[in-house]
Chains A and B, each alone.
Chain A
Amino acid sequence: MTRYIVRRLLGMVLLLILVSAVTFLIFNVFPSADPALLRAGRQPTAESIARIREDLGLDRALPVQFGDYIYNVFVHQDFGRSYINNTNVLDQIRQNLPATISLTIGGVLIWMFFGLSVGIISAVKHRTVFDRATIGLSLVAISAPVYWLGLVALYLFAPDFGVFGLGFLGGQGSYTPFSNDPVKWLQSLVLPWCVLATAFAAVYARLLRGSLLDVLNEDYIRTARAKGLSERRVILRHGVRSAITPVVTILGLDIGILLGGAILTETVFNIPGIGRLAYDAILRGDLPIVQGTVLFGAFFIIIMNLIVDILYAFLDPRVRY
């Protein structure tokens, strides 16, 4: 097992370097804003531009620039400085990370709670009205774009202009870090959490329902029932335990993706997370920040993949590495 983990970790490093290389290529082969000019100000002279280009190391060959970047990242944990305002990229990411983490964790808790319970109940009450209603509603929830749901939710419930303005909610852009004001933090995240959770809850409800239905048809469930165990025990202890594996897999992947920045939700609700940071940086051609956020995002995706695979080994005794 340990050897497996070490192998995977080394693979992760290689993968991160490749991801970084692709990003670097995209941004250098198809350049957007010229970074030297971004720094140069309103009426630059040719000399000042050339000098800034030299300062930023942009006059060196591409492979050299890239090698330098990778070296700095892995050896010195130095992600460089933004082209726009010269801020330290790692600091910017650290500042924006808590908002993304808050959004993700809250969302996960809500959608897991609703998704799993609905999924279990649907499977148990297979083919009843409840079951069919949830399949239908969950399909609708999955089909709506999350940012549209966000806008509709705001239109209906935003505290300042919503049709049914709910005063206890925080408005758009009201995000405050937990350390500053826990109450406001909570208020500002309730609506984004609900919107984010809606689509995911639907997915997980369907997933668990399908998986549980498969499992409940297995022989060992029949045996457990025959042994006289209560239905609840049968379902929760034996059924869900086996059925949960695909859910865990997908959950891990989803968390990994969300931690890389839920751009759409963050944009609609004005939450200063990694997604926003990346989005702004991409549009402005701020390569160091883009590289940093992409690396972080990829890192979360890969590491969650690894964690999920390890958890698999614990959940499914047939899997051994």
Chain B
Amino acid sequence: MTATAPAGPIDGTRRTVSGLERASLKPAGIVLAIILGLVFGWIVLDAVIPTPGTEVAAGDTVTLANQARFVPASGWTIEDDKSNFYRISNSGVYFAIQTGPTQIDAVDVLNNAQNALRQSIPDAVYSSPSTFTTSRGLTGVQSTLTSAQLTGRLVVVVSSGVYVFANALGPPVSMNALGGDIDAMFESIEILR
């Protein structure tokens, strides 16, 4: 009716291996096997499964409609490669960038983009626009979005009647892991004059 009392401290009669209770080895080994199996299982699968589509090669630079340029992160998959629109993906994260002529300022472009995104991500909260500076010193505005399932970042740069709108959007885990790539892509944006 009642459970058998489990082992207590070593009393001299319990069998040990290198100071460890023999009976404790198997369950701990099973736990360790599950941990290693899960971690390395995904890593091995990731290494074995080839990336479908075309990957961005190291050193690639993308020019959009002869108006803007940026450096995509190598290893990402190219999803769209049009004249004024370029989109790549990695682990469920999309990084998209587009350019075109505009008469409105960067904040208004950003507002339009947020309004468009509200249709597909209704529970997203946006940070207020703040100044964004590229590595070449070009200034624009940026905003982040946070929802229960997705996080993202929007950047708009406007100069000489040309806008560049770039955004990264994906599950928090992947956005977090790819944060370095994403930051570098945003910072590489430049407008060609």
- Verify that A and B bind, or say they do not: no
